[in-house]
Amino acid sequence: MAVGLLDSGQPLVSKYDLALVDLDGVVRRGTNAIEYASDSLNKAKELGLHQFFVTNNASITPEKVAAQLNGLGVSATPDEVMSAALAGAALLQTKLKPGDKVLVVGGNGLVEACEKAGFDVIRSNVTGAADQNPKAVIMGYAPDIAWPDLAEAAYAVNNGAWFVATNLDKSLPTARGYAPGNGALVGAVQAATGATPVSDGKPSPAMYQLCVARAGKSKPLVIGDRLDTDLGGARAGGFPGLLVLTGVSSARDAVLAPPEYRPDYIGSDLRTIFDTHTAPKESPDNWWLSGSRGARVVGDKLELDGEGPSGIDAVRAACAAVWNATDSGIKVDPTSIPEFVI
How many DSSP H helices and E strands does the chain contain? Answer: 11, 19
Which residues touch 279 (CB under 8 Å, ≥6 apart)? 4, 5, 6, 7, 320
CA dist 267 and 291 (Å) reads: 14
CA dist 333 and 338 (Å) reads: 11
- For 99, other C-beta atoms within 10 Å of its C-beta total 9
Region of residue 194 (phi > 0: left; psi between -120 and 50: alpha; otherwise: beta): left
- For 275, other C-beta atoms within 10 Å of its C-beta total 15
Q: Is 24 marked active-site? A: yes
**Residues 262, 267, 269: CA angle, nearest 5 degrees:** 125
DSSP 8-class letter at 278 = P
Beta bridge partners of residue 222, listed in sequence order: 20, 241
Active-site residue (options: 24, 200, 225, 269): 24
Active-site residue (options: 7, 17, 22, 264): 22
Name the strand (E) or helix (H) holding 31.
Answer: none
CA dist 163 and 197 (Å) reads: 5
Q: Is 120 marked active-site? A: no
Name the strand (E) or helix (H) holding 168.
Answer: none
Nearest residue to 206 (alpha-carbon basis) of 305, 306, 100, 93: 93
Alpha helix stretches (DSSP H) within the chain: 12-15, 37-46, 62-71, 84-92, 108-116, 147-158, 182-193, 206-215, 232-237, 251-255, 312-327
DSSP 8-class letter at 18 = E
Which residues are marked as active site?
A: 22, 24
